[in-house]
Amino acid sequence: TGTAQTTSTRAPTARPTSPPVPPATVPSTSASTNPPSGDEGVLTLNFRLFRTFTEPLANQSSNEFKQLSQNVTTELNRVYGNAFGRRYRRSNVARFSRGSSFPRADTVQVETNLIFQNKTVVPNADQAATVLRQSINNSTANLDAVPGSINAENPNTPTTTTISATTSGAMATNKPQEVITFLFPLILVIYSLSTDMKLPHF
């Protein structure tokens, strides 16, 4: 008689399950376009683009405004980030408006803010304007801007020249009035004396 062989079936060993790995968080590549906060430094930068102005560009909620704003801030962030490094933070577009027309070309006026880490690291306004102007002239900035229209200003710089001119103008205006006020009594005295001399005496 043959011996019956029994085959034992072993249950597979359960492997420990590892917790699911959360998907990696990819940082956003789009820079913030928030307006400057109180502790940040800012320069206003204005220039004109060779582009036909359309009414939707005046509306910050329109797709046209958002698209052009993104194009402008992307280039400004690249240009000024290369020029000023970590001192520079971001830019934002304040508004678009109809610009002056050139022969056979319309323009859009662009008003932006260049935002820096704080007020002590804000560069000279003329230097900031020159950076963009040179980038346009050297074709290293992808902005169809009018180089001669580029202008930067520091809104925190006091306008001492304007105050002095206004004060000088007020002083010049008041000077003739002071002279008249001084001379008028003297003129009356002289006139009175001359009148008395001409009267006949009895």
Whether residues 99 and 144 share a domain: the answer is yes
In a domain, 10, yes or no: no
Q: How many domains, in total, are found in the chain?
A: 2
- Please report the pLDDT score of residue 196 as a whole number: 59
- Give the separation between CA 189 and CA 185, rounded to whole angstroms: 6
Whether residues 74 and 172 share a domain: the answer is no
Whether residues 185 and 118 share a domain: the answer is no
In a domain, 9, yes or no: no
Q: Are strands 41-50 and 88-98 parallel, antiparallel or unpaired?
A: unpaired
Whether residues 134 and 179 share a domain: the answer is no
Whether residues 194 and 103 share a domain: the answer is no
**Is the model's pLDDT at 92 over the cut of 80?**
yes
Whether residues 70 and 119 share a domain: the answer is yes
- Give the separation between CA 134 and CA 119, rounded to whole angstroms: 25
20-73 pLDDT tens trace: 544 433 333 345 668 778 889 999 999 999 999 999 999 999 999 999 999 999
Q: Looking at 153, 170, 187, which one is the last position of a domain? A: 153
Domain that holds residue 83: 41-153
Whether residues 170 and 200 share a domain: the answer is yes
Q: Looking at 136, 153, 170, which one is the last position of a domain? A: 153
Whether residues 111 and 62 share a domain: the answer is yes
Whether residues 63 and 114 share a domain: the answer is yes
- Give the separation between CA 70 and CA 98, rounded to whole angstroms: 19
Task: Categorize the per-residue pLDDT at 174 as very low, low, confident or very high, splitting at 50, 70 and 90.
Answer: low
Whether residues 130 and 198 share a domain: the answer is no
In a domain, 16, yes or no: no
Q: What is the DSSP string of 90-109?
A: EEEEEEEEEPPPBTTB-EEE
- In 3D space, the residue among 117, 73, 63 whose CA is nearest the CA of residue 94 turns out to be 73
Name the 3-class secondary structure at 151: strand
